[in-house]
Chains A and B, each alone.
Chain A
Amino acid sequence: MTEEIIIAGFGGQGVLSMGKIMAYSGVMQDMEVSWMPSYGPEMRGGTANVIVIISSERISSPIIRNFDTAIILNQQSLDKFEGSVKSGGILIYDGNGITRHPERKDITIYRVDAAEEAGRMSSPKTFNMIVLGGFLKIKPIIKMENVIKGLKKSLPERYHNLIPVNEKALERGMEIIRKV
Chain B
Amino acid sequence: MEKELRLMKGNEAIAEAAIRAGADGYFGYPITPQSEILEYLMEANPSRTTGMVVLQAESEIAAINMVYGGAACGKKVMTSSSSPGISLKQEGITYIAGAELPCLIVNVVRGGPGLGTIQPAQSDYFQATKGGGHGDYHLIVLAPASVQEMADFVDLSFELAFKYRNPVMILSDGAIGQMMEKVWLAPQKERSKTYPEWATTGKPPERERNIITSLDLDPYAQEQFNKKLVAKYNEIREKEVRYEEFQCDDAEYLFVAYGTSARVCQKSVQLARAQGIKAGLLRPITLFPYPSVRIGSLAEKVRIILSVEMSAGQMVEDVMLSVNGKVPVFHFGRMGGIVTTPDEVVDYLKSKIIGG
Contact = CB atoms under 8 A, between A and B. Distances in A.
A154 to B, nearest CB: 8
Contact of A34 (B33, B180, B266): B180
Contacts of A62: 175, 179, 181, 263
Interface stretch (A35-43, A72-80, A119-127, A133-141): A35-43
Contacts of B181: 33-35, 59, 62
Given A27-B7, A33-B7, A65-B343, A60 B270 contact: yes
A162 interface: no
Contacts of B180: 20, 23, 33-36
B306 to A, nearest CB: 16
Contacts of B119: 40
Nearest to A32: B182
A63 B257 CA distance: 15
A61 B7 CA distance: 17
Contact of B263 (A37, A61, A154): A61
Interface in B315-345: 339, 341-343
Interface in B85-125: 118-119
Given A61-B342, A63-B339, A39 B178 contact: yes
B314 interface: no
A24 B341 contact: no
B264 A61 contact: yes
Nearest to A65: B341
Interface residues of B, number: 25
Interface in B161-186: 174-175, 178-182
A64 interface: yes
B5 A27 contact: yes
Given A24-B7, A40-B119, A60 B267 contact: yes
B260 interface: yes
B50 interface: no
Given A40-B119, A63-B339, A153-B7, A33 B264 contact: no
A36 B175 contact: yes
Contacts of B264: 60-61, 63
Contacts of A65: 341-343
Contacts of A61: 263-268, 341-342
Nearest to A39: B178
A36 B179 contact: yes
Q: Which of B5, B7, B268 has the most CB of A within 10 A?
A: B7
Given A61-B342, A63-B341, A36 B178 contact: yes
B32 interface: yes
A60 B272 CA distance: 14
Contacts of A34: 179-181
Contacts of B7: 20, 23-24, 27, 33, 35, 153-154
A37 B339 contact: no
Interface in A113-158: 153-154
Nearest to A62: B179
A88 B264 CA distance: 24
A27 B4 CA distance: 13
B5 A60 contact: no
Nearest to B178: A39
Interface in A1-42: 20, 23-24, 27, 32-37, 39-40
A59 B145 CA distance: 11
Nearest to A154: B7
Nearest to A52: B180
Q: Which of A60, A65, A153 has the most CB of B within 10 A?
A: A60
19 contacts: A20-B180, A23-B7, A23-B180, A24-B7, A32-B182, A33-B181, A35-B7, A35-B180, A36-B175, A37-B178, A39-B32, A40-B32, A40-B33, A61-B341, A63-B263, A63-B339, A64-B341, A153-B7, A154-B7
Interface of A: 20, 23-24, 27, 32-37, 39-40, 59-66, 153-154
Interface of B: 5, 7, 32-33, 118-119, 174-175, 178-182, 260, 263-268, 270, 339, 341-343
Q: Which 3 residue pairs are nearest across A and B when measured between Cβ atoms?
A: A61-B267, A60-B266, A35-B180
Given A20-B7, A60-B263, A65-B343, 18 more contacts: A23-B180, A27-B182, A33-B182, A34-B181, A36-B178, A36-B179, A36-B180, A39-B32, A39-B174, A40-B118, A59-B181, A60-B342, A61-B267, A61-B341, A63-B175, A63-B264, A64-B267, A65-B341
